[in-house]
Amino acid sequence: MELDIHIKMNEKLFLRDPYQSALGRKIVSEGLKLINKIGFEEFTFKKLALTCKTTEASIYRYFENKHRLLVYIINWYWSYIEYKVIFSINNVNDSETKLKTIIRLLTIEPTITKTDFISELFAYKLVMYEGSKTYLTRNVTRDNKDRLFKPYKDLCARIAGIIKEYNPRYKFPASMASTILEMSHAQKFFKSNLPALTDAGSNDESIIIFLEHLLFTSIKASK
């Protein structure tokens, strides 16, 4: 399945908009695949240039460094997930159903292979393995001032708003929203790589049950 959806990106993420050229789109899509294959630490623009059959200098015309490329892809993913959330709960009135729908969207591995020029499935895997590297840096304050984390914060704010809708008296909606967002991927990572750190079973349903328990046990307690 393929969807044609274009997401507008923060212009401070790139030197030249990759969406506007075939090479730029290839740099992003192939960069995503390569980071997933070899890991962010081993990834270089020199290796990406070989994959794209272009020059290293050509890639630097689009992105200042590999961290900017990583943030670009991760931001695309969060923006797309927010789009899916809005679409999925558009005609839902019950806030509990909305929250359960969001947990499922965050946790279940996507089946859509390509959206815009980026693979949602590959982006999902990238978030699970490399997502925290976008903000766990010494430059996080500067990057935050440049609004590089806005898609992530927008999604958290949307989830927090629905938590407040469910229970206006709950005191920690932002903390709970970011916890659910992070744990939906951390539990998947632990299940595949550090199984002693999770009670997740062989499929995603056990993670969904855990997240629903964590969320609703907390937000119902102060009703």
Rounded to whole angstroms, how far apart are CA atoms 124 and 177? 18
Per-residue pLDDT at 159 exceeds 80: yes
Average pLDDT, stretch 151-179? Answer: 97
Q: Where are the domains of the chain?
A: 2-221
Average pLDDT, stretch 109-129? Answer: 84
Q: Can you read off the two tokens belonging to residue 175?
A: 């903390």
Strands (E), the chain: 2-3, 114-115
Rounded to whole angstroms, how far apart are CA atoms 203 and 83? 25
Lowest mean pLDDT among 4-13, 69-78, 160-169, 210-219: 4-13
Per-residue pLDDT at 2 exceeds 60: no
Q: C-alpha angle with apex 8: 173 to 45, nearest 5 degrees?
A: 100
- The predicted-structure confidence for 6-35, as pLDDT tens digits, reads as follows 788 999 999 999 999 999 999 999 999 999
Q: Please list, in sequence order, all residues whose beta carbon lies within 8 angstroms of the beta carbon of residue 169, skipping any fewer than 6 positions away.
A: 222, 223
> Which pLDDT value is given to residue 80?
93
Q: Please list, in sequence order, all residues whose beta carbon lies within 8 angstroms of the beta carbon of residue 197, skipping any fewer than 6 positions away.
A: 190
- At residue 3 the predicted structure's pLDDT band, cuts being 50, 70 and 90, is low
Average pLDDT, the chain: 93
Q: How would you class 213 by CB atoms within 10 Å of its CB: exposed for 0-12, middle for 13-18, buried for 19 or more?
A: exposed
Percent of the chain exceeding pLDDT 90 equals: 87
Q: How would you class 218 by CB atoms within 10 Å of its CB: exposed for 0-12, middle for 13-18, buried for 19 or more?
A: middle
Per-residue pLDDT at 223 exceeds 90: no
What is 2-221's CATH topology?
A: Tetracycline Repressor; domain 2 (1.10.357)
pTM, two decimal places: 0.93
Average pLDDT, stretch 147-151? Answer: 96
Rounded to whole angstroms, how far apart are CA atoms 1 and 113? 6
Residue 72's nearest CA partner among 108, 109, 117 is: 117
> Count of CB atoms within 10 A of residue 48's CB?
22
- At residue 112 the predicted structure's pLDDT band, cuts being 50, 70 and 90, is low
For tokens 């929203």, name the residue: 177
Rounded to whole angstroms, how far apart are CA atoms 62 and 84? 28
Strands (E), 61-212: 114-115
- At residue 1 the predicted structure's pLDDT band, cuts being 50, 70 and 90, is very low
Task: Tell me the CB-side half-sphere exposure of residue 115, using CA atoms within 13 A.
Answer: 19
> Which pLDDT value is given to residue 114?
58
